[in-house]
Amino acid sequence: MKGLPIKIKFTLWYLAVLSLILTVLGTGIYAAMSSRLHSSFDDSLKKRADQIVDFKDIIPIVAGGAFEEETGELISFYFYFDHALVNVSHRQIEIPAGEECINAVLGGENLYKTIELNNKPFTLYAVPYSPEPKRIMLDKFNIDPNNGAGRKKVRFTNPKLPDEIEIEKAVLIVARSTKDLDRALTTLFHILLYSLPITLFLSGWGGIFLLNRILRPIDDISQTTRKIEETDLTQRIKVTADDELGHLAQTINQMLSRLEKAFTRQKQLTSDASHELRGPIAVIQAEASLSLQKKRQAQSYRTSIEVIATAAERMSGIIKQLLFLARTDSSSQSLSFKSIDVHLLVSNLCDELDVLCQDKGLNLRYTSKGTVLIEGDESLLRTLFINLLTNAIRYTPVGGHINVDVSIENNMAVITFQDTGIGIPPKDVPYIFERFYRVDKARSRESGGSGLGLSIADQIVQVHHGRILVTSEMDTGSTFVVKLPVIS
Ligand code: ADP
């Protein structure tokens, strides 16, 4: 069963359960019908016997053949005369009830019994009968007392009877053939028996049909996912229904979209990183081979080594940033979150970097209303604020102003870096948080930028469940606002 396809497994289970249910149901129906028919048959026999019992002088009528019987019924009376059992039956058809049964009824019992008469099944009902008057003239029987109709042998010859006899107690027996009843029950049995495989077949077929319909979307899902390769994540599963399977297909499609994005980003990052690293490597190679071409003066070697060192430093910076991004990307990164006063952190950073501003002739101003506590990783938050502040310094011309502010708004710590720098063209604003994106490649590279600072900042903000927003106007300045949840 284990290795079988789900369709076959389901069908086998379905058919097994269905046949069990149908068998139990069929047996139940048959048993209920049989008991109902038998009990209404028995009731009608009893009713008929109760009717006849009320006619106290009916024995001579039966014996005389004047009894009006209902269709298919037999009537017999039994009584003892002179220690011998005498039988008087309508149409002289004696109901073979058996002496034991007759004695039991004479003892006061009413009973049913199944017998066979002329190879046909019969059910009889026997009740005690007290004739009135008790003395019965045999000539009223309208028969020859010794050899006539109406007298039958009980075991199997009636004794010679006198002209007049006295009957104290008799037994009335009413019997009807159960042939029709048995036939009806046999027909019902056959109907149930033959309908079982037909029902099984039809519902099995219906079940398989339904199952195929239900499983079709799963087939679609598995076929599409089989087609998806690492290199081609553009395939999507057709969503045809708004049910659980439709939702599953949607979820898989969303996962594929995320994977596709991640793969594209990864590819882009690899190509951008190699492109970025190619520059300094080319410089190192060119400088080294130039130096090795011929013997040079010590100063010339020194200049070459300085160029190589700068290029290597640049490469090392890029690699460090890439590693940082990879680490904050992966979930295995263990972040040490603790309570941090952003006001203290940013104000210290401003103090540390003020020297750079002074070098460049910039005016750095820090404002805050005091302690702002957030839950965060101090080293990551330092990197975030350094990146934003160094960008402001890098892209603000001499004599410009940089204002840094820390405040609280709607349970969020709001850290604002506003500069009067060159600004960002509106068309570039949506992309500046992408890895290696630079507005002006040459100028950014010249000033030491790698295009990774803002994407690192964005990633750190995300790790802290915050938001980073930017507004900028060309030649007027830019404002970067970081919002992080405060400790409540
Ligand atoms: P980079 O290392 O090149 O500065 P970033 O990711 O930090 O890379 O920034 C991406 C781009 O956004 C930069 O190339 C720059 O053009 C622009 N940018 C970032 N900050 C500022 C700012 N304060 N003023 C003007 N332009 C900025």
Determine whether the shortest distance from the Cβ of 419 to ligand 1 is under 6 A.
Answer: yes
Three-state secondary structure call for residue 214: helix
User: What is the mean predicted confidence (pLDDT) over 225-249?
Assistant: 78
Per-domain boundaries in the chain: 6-49+183-214, 55-177, 244-329, 337-485
- Of 140-144, 288-292, 327-331, 470-474, the poorest mean pLDDT is in 140-144
Say if ligand 1 is within 6 A of residue 392 CB: yes
pLDDT at 2 (0 to 100):
59
Amino acid at 408: I
Is the C-beta atom of 380 inside 6 A of ligand 1? no
* Residue found by looking up tokens 């209920």 in the block: 32
Strands 164-166, 135-137: pairing kind = antiparallel
Report in angstroms the alpha-carbon separations of 450 from 57, 279, 284, 391: 128, 12, 18, 11
Query: What is the whole-number distance in angstroms between the Cα of residue 420 and the centre of ligand 1?
Result: 14
Q: Considering only CA atoms, which of 458, 486, 157 is closest in space to residue 324?
A: 458
Determine contact, residues 115/96, Cβ cutoff 8 Å. yes
**Would the CB of 422 count as within 6 Å of ligand 1?**
yes
Q: Which is more confidently placed, 3 or 28? A: 28
Nearest Cα to Cα of residue 51 among 40, 39, 43 = 43
How does residue 230 score in pLDDT terms, banded at 50, 70 and 90? low
From the CA of 456, how far away is ligand 1's center (Å)? 12
pLDDT category of residue 110 using cuts at 50, 70 and 90: very high
Instruction: Report, as an integer, the average pLDDT of 183-197.
Output: 90
Residue 96 near residue 78, CB atoms below 8 Å = no
Kindly provide the b/e burial profile for residues 258-296, where b requires at least 16 CB atoms within 10 angstroms of the residue's own CB.
eebeeeeeeeebeebbeebbeebeebbeebeeebeeeee
Q: What is the pLDDT of the chain when averaged over all its residues?
A: 85
According to DSSP, the residues that pair with 85 across neighbouring strands are: 80
Report CA 378 to chain centroid distance, whole Å. Answer: 45
Amino acid at 240: T
Residue 472's alpha-carbon distances to 350, 426, 476, in angstroms, are 22, 8, 8
Q: Do 154 and 89 form a contact (C-beta atoms < 8 A)?
A: no
Q: Which of 314, 393, 431, 439 to mutate to test the pocket of ligand 1 (most atoms within 8 A of CB)?
A: 439
Distances (CA, A) of 128 to 11, 78, 153, 173, 292: 61, 10, 20, 9, 139
CB of 135 closer than 8 Å to CB of 164: yes
Structure tokens that stand for 434 in this block: 């992408």
Q: Is 314 in the pocket of ligand 1 (CB under 6 A)?
A: no
More confident residue, 35 or 141: 35
Q: Which two tokens stand for residue 100?
A: 């034991």
Phi, psi of 479 (to 5 degrees): -130, 120
- Tens-place pLDDT, residues 388-405: 999 999 999 999 999 999
- Check pLDDT > 60 for residue 331: no
Burial-class residue 3 by CB neighbours within 10 Å (0-12, 13-18, 19+): exposed
Which segment of 40-44, 135-139, 266-270, 368-372 scores lowest on mean pLDDT? 135-139
Q: Whose CA is nearest to atom 16 of ligand 1?
A: 439
Strand blocks (E) in 320-380: 338-341, 363-368, 373-376
**Coil/strand/helix, residue 370:** coil
> Ligand 1 in contact with 454 (CB < 6 A)?
yes
End-to-end Cα spacing for the chain: 57
Instruction: Answer whether 150's CB lies under 8 Å from 65's CB.
Output: yes
Can you give the pLDDT at residue 129?
Answer: 94
> What confidence tens digit (pLDDT) does each residue in 253-283 have?
898 888 888 888 788 778 888 888 888 899 8
Count of beta carbons in the 10 Å neighbourhood of residue 302: 11
The residues, ordered by sequence, that sit 6+ positions from 243 with a Cβ below 8 Å of its Cβ are none
- Cα of 149 vs centre of ligand 1, distance in Å, is 130
Of 432, 428, 420, the residue nearest 468 (C-alpha): 432
Spacing, Cα 333 to ligand 1 middle (Å): 26
Residues linked to residue 123 through DSSP beta bridges, in sequence order: 114, 176
pLDDT in tens, 289-324: 988 888 888 898 999 999 999 999 989 988 888 888
Distance CA 1, CA 6 (A): 10
Q: Are 344 and 371 in contact (CB under 8 A)?
A: yes
Question: Is domain 244-329 in CATH 1.10.10.10, yes or no?
Answer: no
Ligand 1 contact, 421 CB (< 6 A): yes
Please identify which residue in the block is written with the tokens 């949840």: 485
- Of the candidates 433, 340, 323, 335, the one whose C-alpha atom is nearest the C-alpha of residue 387 is 433
80 has pLDDT over 90: no
- Amino acid identity for residue 186 in this structure: T
Cβ(185)–Cβ(74) below 8 Å: no
Q: In angstroms, what is the span from residue 423 Cα to ligand 1's centroid?
A: 9
Q: Within 10 A of 136 (CB to CB), how many other CB atoms are there?
A: 19
Residue 426 preceded by cis peptide, ω within 30: no
Per the model's pLDDT, the better-predicted residue between 300 and 211 turns out to be 300
Q: Above pLDDT 90, what percent of the chain?
A: 43
How far lies 153's CA from each of 67, 93, 145, 160, 477, in Å? Answer: 20, 11, 12, 10, 134
CATH level 3 topology of 337-485: Heat Shock Protein 90 (3.30.565)
DSSP-assigned beta bridge partners for residue 120: 117
Determine the average pLDDT of the residues in 30-48: 93
Cβ of 418 closer than 6 Å to ligand 1, yes or no, is: no
Distance of CA 119 to the CA centre of its chain: 61
- Amino acid at the residue 283: V
Is ligand 1 within 6 A of the CB of residue 450?
Answer: yes
pLDDT band for position 155 (50/70/90)? very low
Is the sign of the CA dihedral 194, 195, 196, 199 positive or negative?
Answer: positive
For residue 193 the two structure tokens come to 């028996």
